[in-house]
Each structure stands twice: as structure tokens, then as C-alpha cells.
Amino acid sequence: MAAEKVYGPYEALILGVELEDAGRNFYNRVANSCASSDVREVFRELADAALDQERLIREELEPAYTPDWYSEDNKRMMSEYLKTVEHQTVFPDPEDTPACDMVAVDPKQALEVGIKAKKQVADYYKVLGDATLDEKGREVFESLKKKAEIALKKLEDMKGRV
């Protein structure tokens, strides 16, 4: 039987922040090189939403769940540790210029990548919410999962029009 992952609220918020940061970087990279103005605008909106969602995590969870004794060095060390054991794999590396440019040339392909990412984001937030021991943390991750599902629907609708 595989060990069940359980995160304290601080670990879950670090993973959520990493996910939103990776998403924002990827969405901006695609938006900056996308040929279609409609698709470019959707990816800019997704980048803005990722920033808002990162802010939500930081404002709703970080003040309440960061241990008082954590210094900035402790936070960086925990973040680096979690990246090594639980690195998000939802978004392609935005620094992978050939892959991002290839996606940006074809609006349908860009939307496909966005759809796949949003599905994974929603699943990732469900896992984080289920693995978080704190009720408030679960509520925040459920809210983020719902926002990802709304963005997913928007991407799927746009794909039908492109």
C-alpha cells in the first residue's frame, strides 16, 4: 500500500504558490509570442488570474499558517525542499523557448496546452485540499479548484470558436 501524502497548511500553501507562479510564467510566455490576438488575450487573463490566486493563497493562508518561528531563510529552505520532493509538473518550463514558440504559433495548440494545464491544476488543487489537515486550507484549495474549472470551461469554449 502506498503511503498517503498529508500536508500541513504551510507545506500546502508553498505548493500552491509554486503552482500559480509556474502558471503565470507559462501563460505570460505564451501570450507574449502567440499569433492570435484572441488567444493571446485569454492567456494574459490566465496570467492575471494566476497572480490573483497566488495573492489569495498568500493573504488567506500564509499569515495564519506560517509558524511564528519561521524566518525568511526557513521559508526558502522549506520551499526548496518541497520543490525537490513534490515539484509541480503541470506547466512546461516557460524558458523552453522552442516548445513555447511552437505552441504560440498555433492558437488551437496553445488552447490545448492551456486546457490540459487547467485540468491538471484543478486535480492538483483537489489533491492539496484533500491532503491538507486544516479546514480553512481545504476551503481555499477548493475555491482555487473551482476557479481552475471555470478557466477550463472558458478555454474549451474558445477552442470551439478558433
Mean pLDDT of all residues belonging to the chain: 78
**128 to 37, 69, 106, 112, 148: CA distances (angstroms):** 34, 24, 33, 24, 14
Residue 3 has pLDDT above 50, yes or no: no
pLDDT for 81: 56
Read off the pLDDT of residues 82-108 as tens digits, 9 standing for 90 and up.
Answer: 565 555 566 766 566 666 666 667 788
Taking residue 139's Cβ as centre, other Cβ atoms within 10 Å add up to 14
User: Which residue segments constitute the domains of the chain, with CATH numbers given?
Assistant: 9-161 (1.20.1260.10)
C-alpha 76 chain-centroid distance: 19
Beta bridge partners of 132: 7
* Joined grid coordinates for residue 67: 509558524
**Tally of helices (H runs) and strands (E runs) in the chain:** 7, 0
Residue 73 has pLDDT above 60, yes or no: yes
Highest mean pLDDT among 16-20, 57-61, 66-70, 119-123: 119-123
Q: How far apart are CA 11 and CA 18, in angstroms?
A: 11
Query: For the whole prediction, is pTM greater than 0.95?
Result: no
Read off the pLDDT of residues 114-155 as tens digits, 9 standing for 90 and up.
Answer: 888 889 889 888 888 887 777 877 888 899 899 999 999 999
